[in-house]
Structure 1
Amino acid sequence: MSVNAPCGPIAGITRAADTAYLGIPYARAPYPTRAFDLPQPREPFTTCFKATGYGPSPAHPHVGQDLFPDPVIAGEDALNLNVHAPTRGDGPFPVVVWLYGGGFFTGSNASPWYDGASFARDGVVFVVPNYRVAAEGFMILDDGVANRALLDITAALTWVRDNIAAFGGDPANVTLAGQSAGATAALALTGVPAARGLFRRLAVMSAGTPLLTPLDRMKQLSADFADRLGIPPTRQALSATPTARRMALEQEWLPGEVRAPAESADDRARRAGRDALRWQPTLDGEVVTTAPEEALAEPGALDALLIGTTTQEWNFLLGDLSTAPSTDACLHGMANLGRTADDLATYLTELRSDNPGHALAQALTDRTFRCPARTIADTAARAGIPTHTYQFAWPAPHFGAAHCADLPFVFDHLDAPQAPQLLGPDAPQHLADRMHTALTRFAHGNSPGWSPYTADERRTMVFDQAPYECTDALAKTPNALRYSA
């Protein structure tokens, strides 16, 4: 099936639930010589573009995880996007623009976990853009430009505004959504003047903190990276450095939790809270002028906000906790968080566990994900922004309700490649139905299906085997939540 868009004619693949248009370039090719340039508009296609296969991926290092597929596709046109359009029904349809996770050091839209067929089936045009990661996305060079990754996303949103009507989408009805680093990027976009008016709603899953890196820290990281490469911190020098050489250094700079080979349970526990992500959005004053906590305090900043986390985000990143790390190693990890032996004991009591790894993982989850989500929800609700919060609490085998375990449910794709290995054979389809419906309802401009969040009552949906509403779920341990059902 073909469409005639302002960017030119495009041919896609008609499937059972959608028409998929894959790998459409939305900006000029960054490779081989423009990896550190600002995204630039492309000339319209003069012949029909065959959008029948995933496009090239942004350059990123190998990550030592087998949680979900992260293919790397070589090629020049890495700034591309996928569109999944409904094949039935009358448009215009609401649009969801999905930002992938990966800690800002990995990720692409070629992962089969981000296939948007289920959303198209349910009357949503689903768009997944690539954006540059790691040094290419965030390093500050002699031109002084920060946040190229956010500029990439803004360029993709601009492409959506200008072209999505040709695919049946409503350019005035866009929800920006994402998970993990993608959620953090989505929040950062609330403080980007160039992105204002390009999306109406925000759906934020497992955004990690800090949401923004101080400008001085990013400048120092950038200088350190160039120094390690033995080159001046200039766009010309970085662009001339072979990609393989840069990726070797990116590999060394990976957080310990994801570096291959995996560290021992004790090593991971001792490093917990110490390995901050290096590459992240920066409050630079030009691209990002306002922190999310301030941007969302403005009445009318968004039409609506949906935000939540899993209850045990850090279980996966600390490894399989069925083998307990030592108490001594976990005390080191707690100290990295500014916590004490008494705090470790309190968590063990609240979790009804004798595994100190459980306590450390929960302390990390609360500090990095759940407490910040609660703060953002409070801020938005007090500003009068319609806000809904959730907690994903269904325990996958071995890792519990860990980081990324909710993605196959939201995409209604429990049989996605490698998902059965994570979720086991008994992942409940009814929970996928409920979570997927929540996001599609939200994209259509409706309530996701439970009570609004207020800063006084904090009503929250808990997605477990039997979903239920709970007061202030983001402040309760997983064990306490089960007693609130």
Structure 2
Amino acid sequence: MTEAGKPYEIEETVMVVHTEHGLVQGLDRHGYQEFLGIPYAAAPYPEHAFDPPRPLNAWDGVFEATAPGATAAHAQVTQDLFPDPVVEGVNPLNLNVYAPADTGGPYPVLVWLHGGGFFSGGNASPWYTGESFARDGVVLVVPNYRLAAEGFMLLDDSVANRALLDITMALRWVRDNIEAFGGDPANVTVAGQSAGATATLALSGCPGARGLFRRLAAMSAGMPLLSSLTRTHELSEDFAALLGTPRTRAALLGAPVRKRLELEATWLPHEVRTPPADADARARRLRQDSLRWQPTLDGTVISASPYDALAEGTLDALMIGTTAEEWNFMLGPGKPAASAEACRQGFANLGLTGQDLAEYLRVLETDNPGHALAQALTDRNFRTPAREVADGAAKAGIPTYAYQFAWPAPGLGAAHCADLPFVFDHLDAPGAANLLGPGAPAQLATALHGALVRFVCDGSPGWSTYDTETRPVMVFDERTREIPDAFTLPPDQLRRTR
């Protein structure tokens, strides 16, 4: 056996490393090392689902990290965006590590926070495997965290934001153990997409997470970035009342898990629950605050909003962006189109008018009101907030890099999640072709993945830093180029300069 902290090869494809909790066995995948389902906190199920994460005890023998670990309990969601396998087990507080086969290091570390609206998702998805990062000299860590009520419900006898505490515990595990996998604990970037991006930005205001990362990369974070304490309190009261229990840990644990998850399913956003063909129902129910469970500005676990936290200027660097047509996956240019009447209701739900609908139809050069409504929500919930966060970070002196993903998948456009196979350089990942169609440009995957790798390595993805005068934004399409203030431009205008 080699010295502590150094992996050694037992068989041709088996690797063992020393961690502070014991030996962990993974696989050498002929070019990178893979360790799956490593626990970073004690098992929350069945008795501690609503407790803060608890320290992990050391184990005897060797922990076999060769198969995905458990996923957090959540309602079943039918969606076609990305694979979301559910793995049964008592400890979803686990993480995957993908490391270069050459253990020389130390290599920069990327901690990736999965998306899923805080009601689904997990690190067992084949879209989040890290061979491309390991190939390029980055150690990738993908933790699970608790979801929905387990992660965010306010209780009378437990702390708020348990999911953020889970993520913070995972970051502490990285600090204390990642050197054994060839990673550099002093060079950690946290990144995420969708809900994962929202959690990434929320970490900036978490006192317990300070010093555990240097940079943040937020991809497609949606508004609101944080829920108010009042709103989460009201939601928590409603949830407990519908479940028929007091808001205590014991009472919630006493309710059948099946009953709780059935209630969670009724609380999914309408756009997820509405059948795909029912475009009018989707349009009428569209709202800015469709997510119920999400990070809450509670004053303790999260003590400041991302806007206020970034204004302190303590972050080494920030990378932030969106896809140009996030909400196309729900309405967009597809058929059947939502009616004008239903879309006017959707515009009203966003605080907009029929005149705004007409203007979007004109600017987008379309007669499809669903496409206009999808772009209005994309602008209000994703692109404008990203611009505002970039403005604030740049004013605080944080080197900030903004981008737009504009490549249009056939029949879908630059929709939510369409960038993920490019970020991971996984155009052949299971299900990717269903979303992207045939012939997705490999050079775009090289460009977008390479930009994130460069950002993780040295804090600069390879284009101009953002400022509040010219607002340079890198646009990723079949070719990449900087465009001033690209967050305010219609998607087709971003693509006309190909």
Q: Deviations over 1:97-119 (max 9, x none)?
A: 00000000111100000001110
Match of 2:466 among 450, 453, 456: 453
Distance 1:6 1:390, change over 3 A: same
Deviation at 1:479, TM superposition (A): 2.0
- Report the AA paired with residue 412 of structure 1: D
Counterpart of 2:4 in structure 1 is none
Q: Deviations over 1:202-232 (max 9, x none)?
A: 0110001100101011111111111101111
Match of 1:24 among 17, 32, 38: 38
Match of 1:175 among 175, 183, 189: 189
Find the residue that maps to 2:141 and give its secondary structure. Answer: strand
Distance 1:203 1:423 in 2: 23
Distance 1:348 1:29 in 2: 52
Identity of aligned residues (%): 63
- TM-score w.r.t. structure 1 length? 0.98
- Report the AA paired with residue 266 of structure 1: D
Counterpart of 1:404 in structure 2 is 417
1:340 matches 2:353: yes
1:128 matches 2:142: yes
Runs of 4+ in 1 over 4 A off after TM superposition: none
Contact 1:175 1:201 in 2 (8 A): yes
Distance 2:274 2:87 in 1: 20
Match of 2:219 among 205, 209, 234: 205
Distance 2:492 2:402 in 1: 19
Contact 1:314 1:402 in 2 (8 A): yes
Distance 1:458 1:447, change over 3 A: same
Counterpart of 2:247 in structure 1 is 233
Find the residue that maps to 2:299 and give its secondary structure. Answer: coil
Counterpart of 2:293 in structure 1 is 279
Match of 2:271 among 257, 278, 288: 257
Counterpart of 2:87 in structure 1 is 73
Match of 2:341 among 308, 312, 328: 328
Distance 2:152 2:92 in 1: 16
1:215 matches 2:263: no
Distance 2:286 2:140 in 1: 36
Q: Which runs of 5+ in 1 are unaligned?
A: none
Deviation at 1:477, TM superposition (A): 1.1
Match of 1:267 among 263, 269, 281: 281
Deviation at 1:64, TM superposition (A): 2.0
Q: Deviations over 1:269-309 (max 9, x none)?
A: 1111266210010000010000000000112x210000000
Q: Which runs of 5+ in 2 are unaligned?
A: 1-14
Contact 1:350 1:480 in 2 (8 A): no
Q: Deviations over 1:92-145 (max 9, x none)?
A: 000000000000011110000000111011100000000000000000111251
Counterpart of 2:11 in structure 1 is none
Find the residue that maps to 2:473 and give its secondary structure. Answer: strand
Q: Deviations over 1:181-219 (max 9, x none)?
A: 000001001000000000000011000110010101111
Distance 2:377 2:350 in 1: 8
Contact 2:223 2:289 in 1 (8 A): no
Counterpart of 1:362 in structure 2 is 375
Distance 1:403 1:389 in 2: 17
Find the residue that maps to 2:272 and give its secondary structure. Answer: coil
1:110 matches 2:124: yes
Contact 2:51 2:159 in 1 (8 A): no
Counterpart of 2:8 in structure 1 is none
Deviation at 1:484, TM superposition (A): 5.1
- Report the AA paired with residue 118 of structure 2: F
Counterpart of 2:404 in structure 1 is 391
- Report the AA paired with residue 66 of structure 1: D
Q: Deviations over 1:15-65 (max 9, x none)?
A: 033110000000010111111011011112221111000001000111121
- Report the AA paired with residue 229 of structure 1: L
Match of 2:445 among 409, 414, 432: 432
Distance 1:482 1:436 in 2: 20
- Report the AA paired with residue 415 of structure 1: D
- Report the AA paired with residue 46 of structure 2: P
Matches within 5 A, 1:134-149: 134-149=148-163
Contact 1:441 1:447 in 2 (8 A): yes
Equivalenced residue count is 484
Find the residue that maps to 1:343 and give its secondary structure. Answer: helix
**Range with bigger deviation, 319-328 or 125-134:** 319-328
Distance 1:397 1:322 in 2: 13
Find the residue that maps to 1:359 and give its secondary structure. Answer: helix
Distance 1:451 1:26 in 2: 37
Distance 1:115 1:442 in 2: 19
Distance 1:319 1:44, change over 3 A: farther
Distance 1:126 1:74 in 2: 24
Match of 1:311 among 306, 316, 324: 324
Distance 2:470 2:221 in 1: 22
Q: Deviations over 1:371-410 (max 9, x none)?
A: 0000000000111100101000000012110000000000
Find the residue that maps to 1:296 and give its secondary structure. Answer: helix
